[in-house]
Structure 1
Amino acid sequence: MGVHGEAGYERIKLGTASVLVTLMLKRICEALSLAANDSVAVIVNNFGALSQLEQGIVVHEIVIQLRNMNIEPVRVYSGVLMTSLNSAGMHVSLLKLTESDGDVFIKCLDEETTAPCWPGCSYSIPSTVTRIPFKDAEKKEAEKIGISLNVREQRLFKSCLKNACAAIVEQEAYLNELDRGCGDGDCGSTLKRFADGILNNLDNLSLSHPAALLSEIANIAEEHMGGTSGALYCLFFTTGAKKLASFKQGENLRHVWFCAFRSGLNCLEKYGKARAGDRTMIDTMDATCTMYEIMLKEYPNNFYDRLAAEAWKGCDSTKDMKPNGDNN
Structure 2
Amino acid sequence: MSVEIKSFEVSDPLTASLKGFAETNPNVELILKEKIIFRNTDKGKVALISGGGAGHEPTHAGFVGAGCLSAAVCGDIFASPSTKQILNAIKVVSKSSSGVLLIVKNYTGDVLHFGLAAERARALGIDCSVAVVGDDVAVGRNKGGLVGRRALAGTVLVHKIVGAFAESYSDKYGLEDVSKVAKIVNDNLVTIGSSLDHCKVPGRPFETELNDKQMEVGMGIHNEPGVHVLDKIPSVDKLIEEHMLPKLLDPKDEDRHFVSFDEKDDVVLLVNNLGGVSNFMLTAIVDVTKRLLEKHYNIVPVQSICGTLMTSFNGNGFSITLFNASKASEALKKDFDEVESVLDLLNEHTEAPGWPIKNVTMDAAPTYDESILEEVIDVQKAGKYDSEKVSELLKSATDQLIKSEPHITHLDNQVGDGDCGYTLVAGAKAITENLEKISSEYLSQTLAEVSDHIESAMGGTSGGLYSIFISGLSKGIIEQCGESDTVNADIFAKALEIAYGTLCKYTRARPGDSTMIDALEPFVKEFSATKDFHKAFLKAEEGAQSTGNLEAKFGRASYVEDTEEIPDPGAIGLVEFLRGVDSKL
Range of TM-score over shorter length: 0.5 to 0.7
Aligned pair in 2 of structure 1 residues 147, 179: CA closer, same or farther (>3 Å)? same
Of the three residues 223, 229, 237, the one matched with 2:456 is: 223
1:83 aligns with 2:243: no
Contact 1:205/1:213, CA 8 A, preserved across alignment: yes
1:53: how far off? Answer: 3.6
Partner of 1:6: none
Partner of 1:55: 58
Partner-residue secondary structure (3-state), 1:272: coil
- For residues 273-304 of structure 1, give each alpha carbon's deviation from its aligned partner in whole angstroms, at most 9, with x where no partner exists: 111111111111111112112214xxxxxx33
Contact 2:476/2:498, CA 8 A, preserved across alignment: yes
Structure whose residues are more often helix by fraction: 1
- For residues 31-90 of structure 1, give each alpha carbon's deviation from its aligned partner in whole angstroms, at most 9, with x where no partner exists: xxxxxxxx9648xxxxxxxx994433697999x9xxxxxxxxxxxxxx99x725249766
Of the three residues 253, 256, 261, the one matched with 2:496 is: 261
- For residues 77-125 of structure 1, give each alpha carbon's deviation from its aligned partner in whole angstroms, at most 9, with x where no partner exists: xx99x725249766xxxxxxxxxxxxxxxxxxxxxxxxx87875448x8
How do residues 268-307 of structure 1 correspond to structure 2 at under 5 angstroms?
268-296=503-531, 303-307=532-536
Aligned pair in 2 of structure 1 residues 120, 277: CA closer, same or farther (>3 Å)? same
Of the three residues 378, 398, 407, the one matched with 1:142 is: 378
Q: Percent identity, aligned pairs only?
A: 23
Of the three residues 543, 547, 554, the one matched with 1:318 is: 547
Partner of 2:5: 11
Contact 2:384/2:486, CA 8 A, preserved across alignment: no
How do residues 61-210 of structure 1 correspond to structure 2 at under 5 angstroms?
83-86=279-282, 120-122=360-362, 140-143=376-379, 145-149=381-385, 153-210=386-443
RMSD: 4.3
Contact 1:193/1:225, CA 8 A, preserved across alignment: yes
> In 2, distance between residues paired with 1:83 and 1:259?
60
Structure whose residues are more often strand by fraction: 2
1:230: how far off? Answer: 2.5
Contact 2:395/2:432, CA 8 A, preserved across alignment: yes
> In 1, distance between residues paired with 2:280 and 2:462?
36
Aligned pair in 2 of structure 1 residues 40, 141: CA closer, same or farther (>3 Å)? closer
Aligned pair in 2 of structure 1 residues 130, 41: CA closer, same or farther (>3 Å)? farther
Partner of 1:233: 466
1:145: how far off? Answer: 0.8
Task: Give structure 2 stretches of 5+ with no counterpart.
Answer: 17-21, 26-53, 63-71, 77-271, 283-307, 315-355, 554-585
Aligned pair in 2 of structure 1 residues 61, 143: CA closer, same or farther (>3 Å)? closer
Contact 1:21/1:58, CA 8 A, preserved across alignment: no
1:154: how far off? Answer: 1.0
1:306: how far off? Answer: 1.7
> In 2, distance between residues paired with 1:273 and 1:126?
42
1:22: how far off? Answer: 3.8
1:211: how far off? Answer: 0.5
> In 1, distance between residues paired with 2:370 and 2:515?
31
Contact 1:142/1:216, CA 8 A, preserved across alignment: no
- For residues 228-270 of structure 1, give each alpha carbon's deviation from its aligned partner in whole angstroms, at most 9, with x where no partner exists: 3222222111111111112134466101111121111112222
> In 2, distance between residues paired with 1:183 and 1:127?
38
> In 1, distance between residues paired with 2:431 and 2:377?
16
Contact 1:193/1:224, CA 8 A, preserved across alignment: yes
**What code does the residue aligned with 1:255 have?**
D
1:21: how far off? Answer: 5.3
Contact 1:21/1:61, CA 8 A, preserved across alignment: no
User: What is the TM-score normalised by the length of structure 2?
Assistant: 0.35
> In 1, distance between residues paired with 2:510 and 2:369?
38
**What code does the residue aligned with 2:505 have?**
K
Contact 2:384/2:485, CA 8 A, preserved across alignment: no
Partner-residue secondary structure (3-state), 1:85: helix
- For residues 124-166 of structure 1, give each alpha carbon's deviation from its aligned partner in whole angstroms, at most 9, with x where no partner exists: x88766999xxxx9662534511112xxx21111111122222
Partner-residue secondary structure (3-state), 2:526: helix
Contact 1:235/1:268, CA 8 A, preserved across alignment: yes
Partner of 1:111: none
- The number of equivalent residue pairs is 239
Partner of 1:308: 537
Q: Which of 1 and 2 has higher RCO (CA within 8 Å, sep 6+)?
A: 2
Aligned pair in 2 of structure 1 residues 57, 198: CA closer, same or farther (>3 Å)? farther
Aligned pair in 2 of structure 1 residues 255, 163: CA closer, same or farther (>3 Å)? same
1:206: how far off? Answer: 3.0
> In 2, distance between residues paired with 1:183 and 1:55?
23
